[in-house]
Amino acid sequence: MSQEKVTGLGFLAGRGVLGGVLMGLANLVPGISGGTMLLATGIYTDFINAVAEITTFRFRKRSLVVLVSVAAAGGCAIILLAGLVKNLVVDHRWVMYSVFIGLTVGGIPVIWKLIKRPTKAVWGGALVGFALMAALAIVQQQQLGTAGGGTSGALMLGLAGVAGASAMILPGVSGGYLLLVLGQYIPILAAIDTLKQGLRAGDMGTVMSVAVTVVLPVGIGVLVGIVGVSNLLRMLLQKCEKVTLGVLLGLLLGAVVGLWPFQQGVAPSVGDTFKGRLLTAEMIAELEPEDYPTEFFRPGAGHLSGAVGMVLVGFAVTLGVSRLGRSDEGE
């Protein structure tokens, strides 16, 4: 292999590591898309093509380098930072949600660049995508304890894995946001943090328990989602590019609807019904803050100004990252 080719693969691996880290962080954060981060770092097209090739049993070295670098970096970011992100969301919800809104809106220029010249097909697709995501937001707002989540059986965890995989593939679609809607966001982050603590303590019983009950079903969902969504998206972009990009734009815009920042977790009272149970003092004492139901509150001037500032910060971050790969995407 020539030195030039080795250097090219090394540069590709470096971009893959950067994209993977940002993708992993994005999957932990409701409102920001892992696909957008891959697109922003210039590795998106290579990643989509690599997944499509591997799933059709074409094992080129370039594809393997891309997949390994992105997957390894993304996995490490998720494992190391899940606990921190979970605590920030639980303890500083309105601040974090404001950042999430900015991160989401910052992805609009990324999609717009792909659209180039909007047509009726783009606007029609955008309307459909917006309606779908807005409907999910309404479902979310009707559920108290969104962040705390509902049941976390194998089926729901598998669906959560598919949602997370979709965010790796679809620019503008946030896996963390979909996990919030499905009620699996905090349970999965808490399980990852428990797994990390178990590994540090050498507690293999805890590690195996989390691995079997959470990691395995989520992992299967992720695998199914990556294979299915990547091949479907590649086909749709080839056959009806404008409509597909329009839907992606609509999904991105609609995601903001469900991220109204001024909400907080509130400890339930004795006699309240929570997740189908009539709560006693003992049951309330066993609840963790991430399990508390959420409710909206009236923001003050400080909340409003702070939220605007955090939205601008989030927007600047996504827009700034998008410029990293601007000259490289599509090579």
Please write the tens of the pLDDT for every residue from 214-265: 888 888 988 888 888 878 877 887 888 899 889 888 877 877 776 778 888 7
The pLDDT value given to residue 90:
77
Q: What is the pLDDT of residue 234?
A: 76
Strands (E), 204-253: none
- Percentage with pLDDT > 90 across the chain: 9
CA angle 173, 176, 149 (to 5 degrees): 135
More confident: 122 or 274: 122
- Cα–Cα distance, 169 to 182 (Å, whole number): 19
Can you tell me the mean pLDDT for 296-310?
Answer: 92
pLDDT surpasses 60 at 330: no
Instruction: Please check whether residue 287 lies inside any domain of the structure.
Output: no
Q: Using CB atoms within 10 A of its CB, is residue 179 exposed (0-12), middle (13-18) or buried (19+)?
A: buried
Residue 272: pLDDT band with limits 50, 70, 90 = confident
In this predicted structure, what is the pLDDT of residue 145? 44
> Is residue 124 included in any domain, yes or no?
yes
98 belongs to a structural domain: yes
Give the pLDDT band (50/70/90) at residue 32.
low
pLDDT digits (tens, 9 = 90+) for 53-95: 887 788 888 889 988 999 899 888 888 887 787 788 778 888 9
Model confidence at 161: pLDDT above 90: no
Residues 99-148: pLDDT tens digits?
A: 878 877 877 887 788 788 889 999 999 999 899 877 866 765 655 444 44
Please state the rounded mean pLDDT for residues 290-297: 75
Q: What's this model's pTM, rounded to 2 decimal places?
A: 0.66
* Residue 152 confidence (pLDDT): 60
Q: Report if residue 151 sits inside a domain.
A: yes
Q: Which residues have a Cβ under 8 Å from the Cβ of 296 and sit 6 or more positions away? A: 260, 262, 263
Average pLDDT, the chain: 78
Closest CA to 188 of 165, 225, 213, 220: 213
Query: What was the pLDDT predicted at 52?
Result: 79
The answer as to whether 152 is a domain residue is yes
Domain extent, residue 146, equals 3-80+92-262+298-324
Instruction: Name the more confident of 144 and 173.
Output: 173
- pLDDT value for 151: 52
Give rounded-to-5 percent helix, strand, coil for the chain: 75, 5, 20
Report pLDDT for 299: 92
**Predicted local distance difference test score (pLDDT) of residue 181:** 67
In a domain, 317, yes or no: yes
- The neighbour count for residue 162, using CB atoms within 10 Å, is 21
Nearest to 37 by CA among 133, 28, 263: 28
Q: Is residue 17 part of a domain?
A: yes
Residue 246 included in any domain: yes
Q: Indicate the number of domains in the chain.
A: 1
